[in-house]
A and B are shown apart, each in its own frame.
Chain A
């Protein structure tokens, strides 16, 4: 059932009556108020001067929204942009409510955009020619917002989005009226001639009305002759000043000024299409006269760009339309140049004797919501470990990390931290990359791949390894575990696993080595048992003799076949249990039950990142940069330059004698940890930034990793307005007794 055509909308908490066919803007103007706060109104959807928030959606043109009972409207404050939502609760784990938007698809021979006279003619002609034609008219609720190569036309409809593939597109969107640019042009009470005609037809009282330029037919008004000079008034226009050819100014008192200053083609969609078969017809294709070059006032109402701003950018060398747009932000706002483009072209023409063509138009021509933009498109799929539901049941707050959903914490990351430090804890590390490599050439291959020695890793033992590219930059890290003479298991970081797999395969192929590769990243889950009681828990689970540090065994744990690896990322004793994904819940629950009296609790990434930071463990991709060498990371110890060859060795050898100006460094600071990403200051200059930061419960002060990028490297720096001291890592248990216990 159609909504009633009269009633009330709610504007800033107050009801405002509307009449049949009223738009929101007209209803507000009928009530003697203004939809936005200042600037000429076109009521044709061309400018951004009537933007409101309608039913919770910001940047809505109130002139394009039909009033309906109960519609809630909030007017934007008198600023260029409406305020962003509060970020006082930076809980990244909370998923905002989704707004579903349906998509319809169609395929035709011709799309005609615009239902005016030109559009209707094109429509009829195409139908007569037997072509499948679709007419999309904003006035009928089908607002085209984008034309892509193809061409594909995207329109917003009353029920969602419409995606149309078409052989050809005809843009028949007519022409837009010039907005005035002069002093006072941001006052209320200014209307284009078309807007005045609409309001008059709607029965809205315009008060004492003065027209400048061509007056609208049928609208009672007096005409102020001459050239527009400025508007006067406080908040709302009270007079308009014009001048004759001699420069004599005439001031005319009024309540409303109506402006018939000229037209510009409404051809944004045609300019958006690039090389696609799209053409404009009718007024949209006509080359109208430009307005006189502006000398004062706001040129771009959306961005608040003034004539002085244009001049400033021009004086700094941005002497071309596209550059001027970027430097001044004129034309990048909500109307995409609908109001300002003719004025800017005219302004440039006056300085260069050349009228520049309009700037490039890009989708979308109208503000659309993220739901509308993303409707029926697929975002990256984030993976879930088999323990996902277990985490949720335990109160886990999930977040996306490295392409996976992972528990950030379970409600108390400090308690999780202490469980690791003092008792035993479980972590879901199923996301780690896991490759099996096997073959007669596998040792040769791994020796070439890694900068550490591989051949001397004994069966049942493992070694930490960096992965370098040809430039000697660290691209990933992980473990090398030897299963037998010709078979190894390689682990990689969660986020780097996919690239690492391609890297491995590429080099095997490049070198023509006989090595098989199986990626088990998503076939095996992994649980990390860590803490001083980890060994006790494993023994309770049936593993009488857990492996010693850097050892690994294949054994059943709680009845589940596992590859048990002894290593440590937390700084405490730790055992990773890699096992089939279909047995993961069974294993997790058994361990939680067996460890109940040991104080077991799971830990999330937040606690894990703090624990690793106390140990000074680098996370590749978080602490490292694209060109981080082992030396810059302080990890020369992981490189064996005496090896005959490994990927990256020539670059490292070449750069080794050169001084380096970057170093990942440890810092300590009293009190709470500064925000990660904080700048590091020394001698009044920014010399780096913090990559990892944590208020250490066990140390009682903050510990950080961060980059120093100025030499000589200082001993003391300033972070977050406080003095921080360069400190060696690990910050905690530097001898590694606890990890090896």
Chain B
């Protein structure tokens, strides 16, 4: 299993319509995960422009994760998911992986970004082997 690395970015909670129209900037590719209609985790983002004066915009350092190929995802993660994955790609999926709360960015390639709160990093890494 590839090592879980810090996945810094931005966390933004705002009106859903404003989030739909938000613009993101980062030093590298930005991957925006809509964790809820009003909640976005933008991995790799350093700045956002959003039309919501009450938006909560915070630098996010609390996640770790790993970009997995389709083969790695099938070998390490899929057997440890006990809930049905959505069929759409790309999409966000959230639930327990090996009994640990986690988030998945499922890509069209079959690969995935596996994310978990850093507080669970040791537990998740240990359970995934």
B119 closest partner in A (C-beta): A383
Q: For B57, give the chain A residue with the smallest CB separation.
A: A518
A466 to B53, CA, bound (A): 29
Q: What chain A residues lie within 8 Å of B96 (beta carbons)?
A: 378
Residue of A nearest to B56 (CB): A518
Q: Give B13-43 as 1s and 0s: 1 = Cβ < 8 Å from A's Cβ atoms.
A: 1100000000000000000000000110000
Q: Is B95 an interface residue (CB 8 A)?
A: no
- Cβ–Cβ contact B11 & A523, under 8 A: yes
User: Is A581 within 8 A of B98, CB to CB?
Assistant: no
Q: What 0/1 readout, one digit per residue, does chain A (432-462) give for beta carbons within 8 Å of chain B? A: 0000101110000000000000000000000
- Which residue of B8, B54, B119, B127 contacts A582 across the interface (Cβ within 8 Å)? B8
For residue B54, which residues in chain A have a CB less than 8 angstroms away from its CB? 438-440, 486-487, 514, 516
Chain B residue nearest in CB terms to A385: B119
Q: With a CB–CB cut-off of 8 A, which chain B residues contact A383?
A: 117, 119-120, 123
B127 close to A378 (CB less than 8 A): yes
With A and B bound together, what is the CA distance between A516 and B11 in angstroms?
A: 12
User: Which size class do A's interface residues fall under?
Assistant: 20 to 34
Asked if B62 and A522 make an inter-chain contact with CB atoms under 8 angstroms apart, the answer reads yes
* Contact B118–A522 (Cβ < 8 Å): yes
Chain B residue nearest to A386 in the complex (CB): B118
Q: Which of A251-270 contact B (CB under 8 A)?
A: none
In the bound assembly, the distance between CA atoms of A438 and B60 in angstroms comes to: 17
Compute how far the CA of A516 lies from the CA of B13 in the bound complex, rounded to whole angstroms: 6
Q: Give 1 or 0 for each of B88-129: 1 = CB within 8 Å of chain A CB.
A: 000000001011110000000000000001111111100100
Partner of B58, one of A386, A404, A439, A520: A520
Partner of A518, one of B6, B13, B117, B121: B13
CA distance A486 to B56 in the complex (A): 11
Q: Which residue of A lies closest to B63 (CB)?
A: A523
Q: Once bound together, how far apart are the Cα atoms of A381 and B99, in whole Å? A: 7
Main secondary structure of the interface of B (DSSP, over half): mixed
Task: Give the interface residue-count category, chain B.
Answer: 20 to 34
Specify which chain B residues have a CB less than 8 angstroms from the CB of A379 in the assembled complex.
Answer: 99
CA of A382 to CA of B124, assembled, Å: 10
Contact A436/B58 with A381-B123, A382-B123, A386-B118 known, Cβ cut-off 8 Å: yes
Q: Within 8 Å of chain B (Cβ to Cβ): is A524?
A: yes
Q: In this complex, what residue of B is CB-closest to A523?
A: B62
Is A517 an interface residue when CB atoms closer than 8 A count as contact?
yes
Is A358 in the interface zone, CB < 8 Å from B?
no
CB distance from B19 to the nearest CB of A (A): 11
Whether, in the assembled complex, A662 has its beta carbon less than 8 Å from a beta carbon of chain B, the answer is: no
Q: Which residue of A lies closest to B80 (CB)?
A: A378
Q: Footprint of A on B, CB under 8 Å? A: 6, 8, 11, 13-14, 38-39, 54-56, 58-62, 96, 98-101, 117-124, 127
Sorted nearest first, the 7 A-B pairs with minimum C-beta distance are: A378-B99, A523-B62, A383-B119, A582-B61, A522-B117, A381-B123, A580-B61
Q: A378-B127, A517-B56 known; 13 other A-B pairs, CB under 8 Å?
A: A377-B99, A380-B99, A381-B99, A381-B120, A381-B124, A383-B117, A384-B122, A386-B119, A438-B13, A486-B54, A518-B13, A581-B62, A582-B8
